[in-house]
Structure 1
């Protein structure tokens, strides 16, 4: 009986050991079944601007365009004049063939500017770009502070600037010719 009793106690202790719960895994902050994907080495990672530099408007040589962004970094938004047409570029990557409405909310009006994924010389890939005649009342949204929202590009808060007002005034003084950029017009 003692032998049977020893075997029974041994079997019970083995079962008791098997029925204990496994220790909970340590939370590493990553989701279960996460897969690491290496980033392409050909493109550097974006870096935060150094110091407390705030984005500002800056004019380009020639006076036909202005850019809004952090000094020393690429622009976040640019406006340029081409033959009496104001071309608006949101410097955020866009998929080839994509179209969207760039919602612009100013003090006096709200404008929904149709934008397309456009290949811009000097920029890798495609960026969001749209246009409207400089004399269009919708262009007033750019003359003061405004907030712009674009799908998958987030929100941008832009202050008003004399540089922008001067560009729109000069651009509106030029007659729009038949050869306008092939970007869609603004919708109000």
Structure 2
């Protein structure tokens, strides 16, 4: 009797040991106690429904930052001043522990800004964020129309505005 029960039981035990979990805890390449959860491929993130003729715009936020986006949607791009540096945040999902170059092109300049996957307090997940000294001459590109591309973050077209230029000037000046 044992010989008939043992092989099926052994197969079940081995299968249970080799099956992979949908979650894995992060180690050296992510925060402690972080959990990566596999997203179903058949359930993509919803895309915002906006009119074809919708125009994105820069706004000055109450905290002094500059934000680019579309009315009624979260900002796509944030600029803020921290200790004489311009912090650039591209609000799209970033993989835990990832690093990339945010390629920005406009007004005769090309800027390849190093960005890292960053967790922001009060927000779920990770987004792309990097910084550059506020007196860097390449920041002129934020004052005119520019385009940006980020691996996994898509392409963004941003119109000219005085809002980012004013922030950069304040940041570089003090």
TM over 0.5: yes
SS in structure 2 at match of 1:167: helix
Which runs of 4 or more aligned residues in structure 1 lie more than 6 Å from their structure 2 counterparts after TM superposition? none
The 2-side partners of 1:128 and 1:169 are apart by 23
Q: May I ask how many residue pairs the two structures share in their alignment?
A: 135
Greater relative CO, 1 or 2 (CA 8 Å, sep 6+): 1
Where structure 2 has 5 or more consecutive residues not aligned to the other structure, the ranges are 1-39
CA distance change for structure 1 residues 153 and 38 in 2, over 3 Å: closer, same or farther?
Answer: closer
Cα separation, 2, equivalents of 1:124 and 1:160? 30
* 1:152-187, Cα deviation, whole Å (9 max, x unpaired): 11111111111111000001011xxxxxxxxxxxxx
Deviations 1:105-163 (A, max 9, x none): 01221110000000122332000000001111121221111110111111111111111
Q: Tell me the alpha carbon deviations over residues 24-72 of structure 1, each in whole angstroms, 9 at most, x when there is no partner.
A: xxxxxxxxxxxx86649xxx7333125743211111014x201100011
Listed as ranges, the matches of 1:80-159 within 5 Å are: 80-159=80-159
User: Normalising to structure 2: TM-score of the pair?
Assistant: 0.71
Structure 1 residue matching 2:140: 3-state secondary structure: helix
Note the 1:1-188 alignment, pairs <5 A. 39=43, 45-49=46-50, 52-62=53-63, 64-174=64-174
CA distance in 2 between counterparts of 1:157 and 1:121 reads 27
Mark the structure with the bigger radius of gyration: 1
- Unmatched 5+ residue regions in structure 1? 1-35, 175-188
TM-score, normalised relative to structure 1: 0.66
SS of the counterpart of 1:110? strand
Give the distance between the partners of 1:65 and 1:121, measured in 2 at CA. 16
